[in-house]
Amino acid sequence: MSDRHSLSALMILKLGSLFTLSDEETQALHDLPIQAIDLKSNRDIVRIGDSSLQCFLILEGYASSYKLTPDGQRQIMALHIPGDIPDLQSLYLKRMDCSIASLSPCTVGFFQVEELRRVCARHPRIAAAFWRDTLVDASILREWVVNVGRRDAYTRIAHLLCEFLVRLEAVGLVQGGTFDFPITQANLADATGISAVHMSRALKALRDNGLIQTRRRYLSVPDWQKLQEAGEFDPLYLHLEDNVAAGLLRTSQLETAAL
Amino acid sequence: MSDRHSLSALMILKLGSLFTLSDEETQALHDLPIQAIDLKSNRDIVRIGDSSLQCFLILEGYASSYKLTPDGQRQIMALHIPGDIPDLQSLYLKRMDCSIASLSPCTVGFFQVEELRRVCARHPRIAAAFWRDTLVDASILREWVVNVGRRDAYTRIAHLLCEFLVRLEAVGLVQGGTFDFPITQANLADATGISAVHMSRALKALRDNGLIQTRRRYLSVPDWQKLQEAGEFDPLYLHLEDNVAAGLLRTSQLETAAL
DNA sequence: CGTTGCCCATAACCTGTGTTAACAGGCTCG
DNA sequence: CGAGCCTGTTAACACAGGTTATGGGCAACG
């Protein structure tokens, strides 16, 4: 039971960053029955074509939405972090149009789509918050089209890392510019539409230019300002609440000050 | 008044293809006050950063969502056809994260976001239909990421054309495999993330292979089956209602029979 | 404590696509 | 009716990034 509390806390944090929730609404989310499951890395959670009656919330670890082309190439079109509900679309779409897999060891919490629909019907503002969440996901996808369509590999990767950092920061998973980063170069390549070999080259360039540091399974950003410039990054499209955006700015100042 | 009827008819057709609406719900949509405006080609309708109090419905012509990179490159991340509400996201996002411009002479109908919110509050199933619509748009964006990230220019263009044809067909704008196509090669290039010159080369290849025919401002698809194969096209991601999908299949058979 | 299997790095070579430029056809507009 | 302008075509050349191959580090496991 206390488990439950901490499980949904993350989702509430996320939704709260998009939309201010009342106590009653918060309670309604707390009361959603949820079943937590642990997963190894690289496991499909849902598959393209599935029509599932459940949704899941990421509690720990990272996941990705992806598709395969007929010749076996893979494209990742979304990265998911703790607090995300990657298949929230199942609320209104019958079949999954992509697969979702863990990118690292993960804990995910499953709940019934039916239950979620009920909560949405009873609490229109929660429905609005979820809707808003899916709209932000769509906005991120628009930026990804730009990223993959018009930026060169170096810029593209810098942009991806900027976005990842900001999103992690919003759920409190960045400490002093450093965050957990167990994602392989092959996966990063699939997310940016380049080859794994070239990902290796480009990451080396980013390292050599002092934009990122990779130690073990962690990634650090020593100069947030410079990485943003390298990635042509403007967080507008993340539609953060003003207070969150302000927090980001503050953090970035702290970081640069810490140098 | 009779004007109004025909204006919203298109939107109702579109929503109806996503979700079955009751008479009362249909009426509520009819009653939405809407202001029609004519536009020339290549005019911005909304701009990135705007926080608008209105949404618009495309009544005639095509439009695109796009962003510019700092060095002046353009990426189109969505094509909009009659029946679409390209900035429906304004319902819950404060600022536009992309610009939207006409791709051809257009008629668009503006309505107040506030009015729309009221209709959604009063008619939960309409809200659901709109939500579903935005979810389908997100699904299309996912496919675009795959398209731009992992397919070569030839396949990519074929895929884009397949999608365009299917979406037009769903609102009755295709006759015998032929549809209005006033979109310049430069715009197509921006939508697929390639250069205008290479777009010209690739379109020539598609023509030479008999996959498309371009006459004046129209485009024909003489062999729907072959174009689908060339574009690795699977309409699953468009989340069409079964009856619409069946209609498509029928049409495609008629077409091939007509040859 | 060797084996197996990732993951990453690097080199050599190849190719799809970008770039630049020049030209032709068709619109629009004075 | 000619001047511009936009659109599309084609050619020659350049280069970012793909492909293939090899080797090294390291964790998991028997």
**A157-166: b (≥16 Cβ within 10 Å) or e:** bbbbbbbbbb
C-alpha closest to that of B252 among B169, B153, B163, B192: B169
- Report yes or no on B136 lying in a domain: no
Last residue of a domain, which of A135, A164, A186?
Answer: A135
B97 and B207 both lie in a single domain: no
How does DSSP assign B120-144, residue by residue? HHH-HHHHHHHHHHHHHHHHHHHHH
- Report yes or no on A25 lying in a domain: yes
Q: Tell me if B62 sits within 8 A of B182, measured CB to CB.
A: yes
A155 and A131 both lie in a single domain: no
Domain that holds residue A198: 151-258
How many residues can be counted in chain B?
259
Confidence of residue B248 (pLDDT cuts 50, 70, 90): low
- The position carrying tokens 């890395």 is A41
Q: Is A200 helix (H, G, I), strand (E, B) or coil?
A: helix
Q: Output the pLDDT for position A14.
A: 74
Q: Tell me if B230 sits within 8 A of B155, measured CB to CB.
A: yes
Chain B window 176-195, residues with Cβ within 7 A of nucleic strand C: 193-195
Last residue of a domain, which of A135, A164, A185?
Answer: A135
Instruction: Give the residue from A46, A73, A98, A135 with the most B CB atoms within 10 Å of its CB, the best one to mutate.
Output: A135
User: In this model, does residue B44 exceed pLDDT 80?
Assistant: yes
Query: Residue type for A185, please?
Result: Q
| Tokens standing for residue A82 | 């703790």
- B180 contacts: CB under 8 Å, gap ≥ 6: B173, B217, B218
Distances A163 to A188, A248, A250, B201 between C-alpha atoms, Å: 13, 12, 17, 35
For B211 and D9, how far is CA from C1' in angstroms?
A: 19
* Domain count of the fold of chain A: 2
Average confidence score pLDDT of chain B: 90
A26 and A71 both lie in a single domain: yes
Locate all alpha helices (DSSP H) within chain B, ordered by sequence.
2-16, 23-30, 113-122, 124-150, 153-170, 185-192, 196-208, 224-230, 242-258
Q: B14-43 pLDDT, tens per residue?
A: 777 667 788 898 888 888 899 999 999 999
Q: Tell me if B42 sits within 8 A of B128, measured CB to CB.
A: no
Q: A56-84 pLDDT, tens per residue?
A: 999 999 999 999 999 999 999 999 999 99
- Report yes or no on A23 lying in a domain: yes
**B110-133: b (≥16 Cβ within 10 Å) or e:** bbebeebeebbeebeebbbbbbbb
Mean pLDDT across A28-50: 93
B103 and B193 both lie in a single domain: no
SS (H, E, C) A148-200: HHHCCHHHHHHHHHHHHHHHHHHCCCCECCEEECCCCHHHHHHHHCCCHHHHH
User: In this model, does residue A9 exceed pLDDT 80?
Assistant: no
Last residue of a domain, which of B62, B96, B128?
Answer: B128
Strand D at less than 7 A from CB of B185 = yes
Calculate Rg over the CA atoms of chain B: 18
> Measured between CB atoms, does A247 come within 8 Å of chain B?
no
Compute the C-alpha angle A187/A191/A194, nearest 5°. Answer: 90
A257 or B208, higher pLDDT? B208
Confidence of residue A6 (pLDDT cuts 50, 70, 90): low
Query: Residue type for B104, please?
Result: S
| Tokens standing for residue A151 | 């930026």
- Report yes or no on B205 lying in a domain: yes
Pairing of strands A178-180, A218-220: antiparallel
CATH of the domain at A48: 2.60.120.10
> Closest to B131 (Cβ–Cβ): which among A78, A131, A146?
A131
Q: Is A129 helix (H, G, I), strand (E, B) or coil?
A: helix
> Measured between CB atoms, does B78 come within 8 Å of chain A?
yes
- Report yes or no on A141 lying in a domain: no
Name the closest residue (CA) to the C1' of nucleotide D7. Answer: B184
CB atoms within 10 A of CB A139: 22
A125 and A241 both lie in a single domain: no
User: In this model, does residue B215 exceed pLDDT 80?
Assistant: yes
A122 and A193 both lie in a single domain: no
CB atoms within 10 A of CB B235: 17
Chain A residues with beta carbon closer than 8 angstroms to that of B143:
67, 97
d(CA B31, CA A21): 32
Confidence of residue A221 (pLDDT cuts 50, 70, 90): very high
Chain B residues with beta carbon closer than 8 angstroms to that of A78:
142
**B180-195: b (≥16 Cβ within 10 Å) or e:** bbebeeebbbbbbbbe
A129 and A168 both lie in a single domain: no
Q: Which positions 112-131 of A are in contact with B (Cβ < 8 Å)?
A: 121, 124, 127-128, 131
Q: Output the pLDDT for position B21.
A: 81
- A12 contacts: CB under 8 Å, gap ≥ 6: A21, A26, A29, A30
| Tokens standing for residue B245 | 């999908």
Chain A residues with beta carbon closer than 8 angstroms to that of B77:
141-142, 145-146, 149
B166 and B53 both lie in a single domain: no
Q: Tell me if B107 sits within 8 A of B38, measured CB to CB.
A: yes
B184 and B239 both lie in a single domain: yes
- Report yes or no on B225 lying in a domain: yes
CB atoms within 10 A of CB A235: 17
Calculate Rg over the CA atoms of chain A: 18
Helix (H) or strand (E) holding B111: strand B106-112
Chain B window 213-242, residues with Cβ within 7 A of nucleic strand D: none
B119 and B164 both lie in a single domain: no
User: In this model, does residue A197 exceed pLDDT 80?
Assistant: yes
Q: Is A172 helix (H, G, I), strand (E, B) or coil?
A: coil
Q: A156-192 pLDDT, tens per residue?
A: 999 999 999 999 998 899 999 999 999 999 999 999 9
B13 and B111 both lie in a single domain: yes
Chain B residues with beta carbon closer than 8 angstroms to that of A75:
145-146, 149-150
In B, minimum Cα distance to A236 occurs at: B97
- Report yes or no on B163 lying in a domain: yes
CB atoms within 10 A of CB B47: 12
Q: A71-128 pLDDT, tens per residue?
A: 999 999 999 999 999 999 999 999 999 999 999 999 999 999 999 999 999 999 899 9
Lowest mean pLDDT among A1-5, B47-51, B232-236: A1-5
d(CA B123, CA B227): 41
Per the rule left: phi > 0, alpha: psi between -120 and 50, beta: everything else, A3 is alpha
User: In this model, does residue A208 exceed pLDDT 80?
Assistant: yes
Average confidence score pLDDT of chain A: 90
Q: Is A257 helix (H, G, I), strand (E, B) or coil?
A: helix
- Report yes or no on A167 lying in a domain: yes
> Measured between CB atoms, does A186 come within 8 Å of chain B?
no
B107 and B45 both lie in a single domain: yes
Backbone angles phi, psi at B108, to 5 degrees: -125, 150
Query: Residue type for B54, please?
Result: Q
User: In this model, does residue A36 exceed pLDDT 80?
Assistant: yes
Confidence of residue B249 (pLDDT cuts 50, 70, 90): low
User: In this model, does residue B3 exceed pLDDT 60?
Assistant: no
Q: DSSP strand E in A81-147: where?
A: 99-102, 106-112
Q: Output the pLDDT for position A250.
A: 56
